[in-house]
Amino acid sequence: MILVTGVSGGLGRLVLQGLSALDGVDVVAGTRGGDGSTARPIDFDDPASLAEGFAGVDVLVMISAGYAEDDVVLARHGAVADAAAAAGVRQVIYTSLAGSGERTTLALPHRWTENRLAEGPFDHTILRNGLYAELLGGLSAAAAAPAAESGIFAAALGTGRMSVVAREDLADITVRVAAEADGELTTGGRSRHAGRTYELEGVTALGGDEIADLLAKKYDRPVTYQPASLSEARAALAGQGFEAYQITHTLSLFSNMGAGFLEAKDSDLPELLAAAPRPVHDLVADAAG
Applying CB under 6 A, the residues found at the interface with ligand NAP are 5-12, 31-32, 42-45, 63-67, 76, 95, 129, 131-132, 135, 167
Minimum Å gap between C-beta 136 and ligand NAP is 9
- In Å, how far are 47, 104, 179, 187 from 267, measured between CA atoms? 35, 18, 21, 30
* Residue 12 or 258 with smaller CB distance to ligand NAP: 12
Minimum Å gap between C-beta 260 and ligand NAP is 18
State the burial class of residue 180 (Cβ atoms within 10 Å of its Cβ: 0-12, 13-18, 19+). middle
* Residue 6 or 158 with smaller CB distance to ligand NAP: 6
Q: Are 3 and 83 in contact (CB under 8 A)?
A: no
* Residue 95 or 223 with smaller CB distance to ligand NAP: 95
Q: Are 114 and 197 in contact (CB under 8 A)?
A: yes
Minimum Å gap between C-beta 44 and ligand NAP is 3
Query: Chain-centre distance of CA 168, in angstroms?
Result: 11
Helices (H) and strands (E) in the chain, counts: 11, 12
* Residue 185 or 201 with smaller CB distance to ligand NAP: 201
Minimum Å gap between C-beta 222 and ligand NAP is 30
Name the residue type at position 265: K
Minimum Å gap between C-beta 170 and ligand NAP is 8
Minimum Å gap between C-beta 65 and ligand NAP is 3
CA distance 60 to 84: 8
* Residue 12 or 207 with smaller CB distance to ligand NAP: 12
Furthest-apart CA atoms within the chain: distance in Å: 63
* Residue 45 or 69 with smaller CB distance to ligand NAP: 45
CA distance 107 to 122: 23
Minimum Å gap between C-beta 8 and ligand NAP is 3
Name the residue type at position 243: E
Q: Is the dihedral of CA 270, 288, 148, 261 positive or negative?
A: negative
* Residue 46 or 184 with smaller CB distance to ligand NAP: 46
For residue 24, how many C-alpha atoms fall within 13 Å in the half-sphere facing its CB? 7
